[in-house]
Structure 1
Amino acid sequence: MAEISPRLRQVRSVLRKSQREFAALLGISLSHYSKLEAGIGGVSDAVLYAVAAQAGVSPEWLKTGQGLPPAGQEAPPRRQVRRGATAPPVECISAVIAAAERPELRALAEKMSALTGVSVVQALADLLLASRRSLPLTEKDQQEGSGDVGKP
Structure 2
Amino acid sequence: MYENENLEQIENWLKTGLSQSPERFSEMFYFDKRDNQFFSLLITDYFIFEDGFEIDKKTSTNYSEGTLKLLADRMQRIENDDSSILAVRRFGELAEEELLSKMDSFLNLNAVDIESASVWEIEESGDVTIDLRDEKTKYWWQFWK
Work out whether the TM-score is over 0.5: no
**Higher RCO (CA-CA < 8 Å; seq separation 6+):** 2
Q: Which structure has the highest helix share of the two?
A: 1
With the length of structure 1 as denominator, give the TM-score of the two structures: 0.27
Q: Which structure has the highest strand share of the two?
A: 2
With the length of structure 2 as denominator, give the TM-score of the two structures: 0.28
